[in-house]
Amino acid sequence: MTKQSFSHLDSDGRARMVDVSAKPDSQRTAIAEGRLTCAPQTIELLRAQALPKGDVLTVAKIAGIQAAKSTGSLIPLCHPLALNSVDVDFSVESDGVVIRATVRCTGKTGVEMEALTAVSVAALTVYDMCKAADKAMSIGGIRVVEKTKT
């Protein structure tokens, strides 16, 4: 069995930020997705915009965009990136909401963490805004579904 190396560890096993200065800039895109599962009655309230905290999906979209832009401050070894675009979309289903974030930048490192952070915070925002109506919601399945570099 070979010893696996981790780019965020130095030769002594200490945490470090990866040096990407020698890498060329490239166009980077990452798409992440996750799901908030809830009761059908909560979906009815969400669709009718009848939840007490207001327009849930608009607030969650803004929260996801802000989160993507703040990823370098939230996750200690992530590089702060100048993002070109962040889009957060929702697919409202009968028993939940699928959240999808697409993040793009021109840079030396990928934007997977930014896309994952956008989905996570958008899901948490939907949860926060719906929790008075539904105590049994759950968040899961958060993952990168696509990433590209050109």
User: CB count, 10 Å around CB of 127?
Assistant: 18
Active-site residue identified among 10, 89, 128, 134: 128
CA atoms of 19 and 99, how far apart (whole Å): 32
Paired tokens of 69? 């832009």
Closest CA to 87 of 106, 71, 65: 65
Has 128 been annotated as catalytic? Answer: yes
Strand partners, 29: 104, 148
Paired tokens of 10? 């130095």
Q: List active site positions.
A: 128
